[in-house]
Chain A
Amino acid sequence: MRLALLSLLAPLAISAGSARAAETVKIGGVFSLTGNAAAYGAQQKAGVQLAVDEVNKGGKLPGVTLELVLDDDGTSRDQGITVFQRLINREKVSAIIGPTLSTTATAADPIAQASKVPVVAVSNTAPKGITDIGDYVWRVSLTEAQVIPAALALARQKLGFKTAALLYGNDDAFTKAGFDVMEAALKASGVQILGIQTFATRDRDFNAQLTALKDLKPDILLVSALVEQAGSIAVAARQLGYTGPIMGGNGFNSTKFIQLAGPAAEGVLVGTAWNRASQDPVNQAFIAAMKARGTDPDQFAAQAYTGVLVIADAIRQAGLKGGRDDIKAGFAKVKDLPTPLGKFSFLPNRDGNHPAAVQVVRGGKFEILQ
C-alpha cells in the first residue's frame, strides 16, 4: 500500500525537484543523531555542514546554492523510512546523504530508489545489499571487501609477513564475511595460512584457540570479530605470550576496542578508509576547518564531507543542474575528484573507489601506519 502510494507520488516529486533546481538545490542528510549510533551521526552532521558551507561560499557551483535539510533516523529502521519519505515527498530534496547504518539503509534506500531520488551512502560498509538496491543508490564508503585486501597489502609492505593464522566468529554474518575477504586476500597474495580457528558470538574464552594458533608460530594473527570480543581476544593473546602483530577486521575499528583491550591494544593493526595523516592539501584543509569548528574529525566526518563534494561535482558535471536525474547522471562522470579520502571515483557497480590505509594503535590512540 505504502509502496503503491509512493509510486503514485513519485512523478510529482521529480517534476517539483527539477523545477526548483536552477537556484537552490535541497540535499537531505539522514544520520543517526540519537540512539546507539549517535556517536557516528554527530561526526557525519558536522562533516556535511562544513562541506555545504564551503561549496556555497567557494562559488564552485555558479548560480547554484546547496540547502542542507538534516534529519535524525534515531538509529532505527522505522524512523529511517519515515524520514526518507518526509524528505522525498515533503521537502522535495534532490538527493539524500545517509543513512548512518547499513541495516537502516536496506530499509530506507528502496524508498528513494522507487521515487528515483539519488542516495549517497557515506558510512554503509556491508559488501552486499546496499548498491544492489538499485541504480539510484551510490556509495562513498569503502566496503570491508575493499578495505581489508588493501590494508593487508599495505601492512605486508611494512611487516613483510609470509605466514598467517586466522581467528573468526563463524556464527555472525559480519565477522564471517570479514574472514572470507581475509582468507581470499591472503591466498591471492601468496601468504601461507598456517591455521584457522573459530568461535561463537557468545564465547568469552578464547584461550584454547589462541594457544593452538600461537603454537603454529605465524608471522601475523588476523582476527575477524565484533568489538565486544575483539578486546578480549587481544588481551588473551598477549596474556598467552603471543608477541607477533595482530590485525583486525572492521570490528576493531572503534575506540571501544582500545577501551576494552587497554595495553593489549598497542600495536594492533586495522584497515581504514580514511588516511588521516595524508599530507594531501585537501585533507589537511578539511582537518583544519573541522577543528576550527570545534570537531576533531574521524573517518565518518571525512566520508560525509566527501559525500557532499561528490554531489556538488555531479551537479557541475550535469551542467549546473540539480534535478534528481541530473545528479544521478552526474555521478557517473565523477572521476579522480580530490577529497580528504584521496582521489575519488565511482566503480561501475556504483561503489566508491579511493585509496585505503592502515591504522595502528599507539599510546591508546589510532594512528596511521606510515
Chain B
Amino acid sequence: MGQQIVNGLFLGSIYALFALGYTLVFGVLDILNLAHQAVFMLCAYVALLLVLHLHLPMFVAFPISVGVGGLVGLAVERLAFRPLRGRSDSNVTGLISSIALATILEALALQLFGPDVERFPFGIVPDRSLHLGNAVVSELQLVIIGIALSMLAALTFVLKRTALGRRIRAVAESPVAARILGVDVDRVIAASFFVSSALGAAAGVLFGLAFNSVSPDMGRTVELKGLAVIILGGMGSMPGAAIAGFALGLLEVFTVAKLGSSYRDAVAFGVLFLVLVIRPRGLLGAAALREA
C-alpha cells in the first residue's frame, strides 16, 4: 500500500513536470504544442550524449540539457508557430505544424541514435534508497518529486510576481491589448516557449534516468498522459496541471494494484471522460484559464 502511494506520487511528478510546460504555452497561445514530446525526447538524448561522450557528471549535464531544451523551444516557436501567427486559422494550422515538427525531430533522432533503447550509465546518480515502513523510495525518486514541486513553485512565482510573468499574463488575456500597452508580444511568446520547453527537457532527462530508458519513441506515452493531465487540471492552469498530474499517477497505480494493469488506461481515460462531462473546465479551469 505504502509502496503504491510512493509509485503513484513518483509517476505523477513526471506527468506534472511534463504537463506544466505543455499548459504554459497553451495558457498563453491557446495552442497545443504537440512538439513538446519531441523536445522531451531530444533533451534526454542530449543529456545522454553529454554523459557518455564528454563524461560530464549528471548535475552538469542536467542544466545544460535543460538550457538546450529552451533553445529548441525557441526554434520550435520560430519554425512551427511564428510564420502562421496572425492567420485566422492559426490555432489549427499551428497544431498541425507542431505535429509535423515532432515527426521530423523523431525521425532525426531515429537516424542519429537508432531505434534501440539506450540507458544512462550505472552509478551516474547515487543508487541509495530509503525505507519508509515497508515502502522503498530511491534518492532519485525523491529528487524528481522535489524538482517537480519546486518547478511548480518557481513557475507560479514567475507568473504572479515578476515583470515577465505580468507580460505573459497580459498576452494570455489579449495579445492586441498587450501590444497597445507596449508589450513586445513576440518576445513574450518566445520566452514562454523557452520556459515551457526547458520544463519539458527537464522532464525528459529525469524520465530517462528514472526508468533507465531513452529511445526515439519515449515521448509518445507521456504525450497522451500529458494531454489528459492538462485537460483534467483545467487548460492553462498551473496548479491544476500539477494536481491532475499527481492524481493521474495515483489513479493509474491503484488501478493496477486493485483491478489489474489491463484496466489501467481504461480507468484513467474513463475518469478523464467523466470529468469532461461533469466539469468541462477541468479541476481548476475557467477562472484560472485566463491567468495562464
Contacts and interface: CB of A to CB of B under 8 A. Distances in A.
B119 interface: yes
A229 B265 CA distance: 19
A196 B260 CA distance: 8
A297 interface: no
Contact of A199 (B10, B136, B261): B261
Contact of B211 (A196, A208, A232): A232
Contacts of A41: none
Contacts of A229: 213
- Please indicate which of the listed interface residues A199, A212, A232 has the most CB atoms of chain B within 10 Å of its own CB: A212
B261 A211 contact: no
Interface string A188-226: 000000001111101111011101100100000000000
A130 B280 CA distance: 53
- Please indicate which of the listed interface residues A196, A198, A204, A263 has the most CB atoms of chain B within 10 Å of its own CB: A204
Interface stretch (A234-242, A245-253, A276-284): A234-242
A202 B252 CA distance: 15
Given A170-B262, A235-B212, A207 B257 contact: no
B213 to A, nearest CB: 5
B212 A211 contact: no
B30 interface: no
Contacts of A207: 7, 10-11, 253
B207 A209 contact: no
A39 to B, nearest CB: 12
B221 A228 contact: no
Given A207-B7, A211-B3, A232-B211, A197 B119 contact: no
A199 B3 CA distance: 19
Nearest to A204: B211
Contact of A239 (B4, B8, B136, B217): B136
Contacts of B138: 239
A330 interface: no
Contacts of A232: 211-213
B149 interface: no
Q: Taking chain B's interface residues, is the majority helix, strand, or loop, or is none over half, making it mixed?
A: helix
A260 interface: yes
- Please indicate which of the listed interface residues B117, B253, B260, B264 has the most CB atoms of chain A within 10 Å of its own CB: B117
B122 interface: yes
A101 to B, nearest CB: 15
Nearest to B263: A198
A345 B207 CA distance: 49
A231 interface: yes
Contact of B257 (A199, A211, A263): A211
A244 to B, nearest CB: 15
Given A202-B221, A207-B7, A232-B211, A197 B122 contact: no
Contacts of B89: none
B199 to A, nearest CB: 19
B129 interface: yes
A205 B11 contact: yes
Contacts of B117: 228, 231, 260
- Please indicate which of the listed interface residues B7, B213, B253 has the most CB atoms of chain A within 10 Å of its own CB: B7
A208 B207 contact: no
A262 interface: yes
Nearest to B14: A205
Contacts of B272: none
Interface in B240-281: 252-253, 256-257, 260-262, 264-265
B55 to A, nearest CB: 18
B33 interface: no
A17 to B, nearest CB: 40
Nearest to B250: A208
A205 B211 contact: yes
A198 B11 CA distance: 17
A240 B136 contact: yes
Contact of B256 (A197, A231, A235): A197
A267 to B, nearest CB: 16
Contacts of B217: 202
17 contacts: A170-B262, A198-B260, A202-B220, A204-B211, A204-B213, A204-B218, A207-B10, A208-B4, A208-B253, A208-B261, A208-B264, A211-B257, A212-B256, A228-B117, A239-B129, A241-B136, A260-B119
Given A204-B207, A211-B3, A212-B257, 20 more contacts: A196-B260, A197-B260, A198-B260, A199-B261, A200-B265, A202-B217, A205-B11, A207-B10, A207-B253, A208-B253, A208-B257, A212-B256, A228-B117, A228-B213, A231-B117, A231-B119, A231-B213, A239-B138, A256-B116, A260-B212
Interface of B: 3-4, 7-8, 10-11, 116-117, 119, 122, 129, 136, 138, 207, 211-213, 215, 217-218, 220-221, 252-253, 256-257, 260-262, 264-265
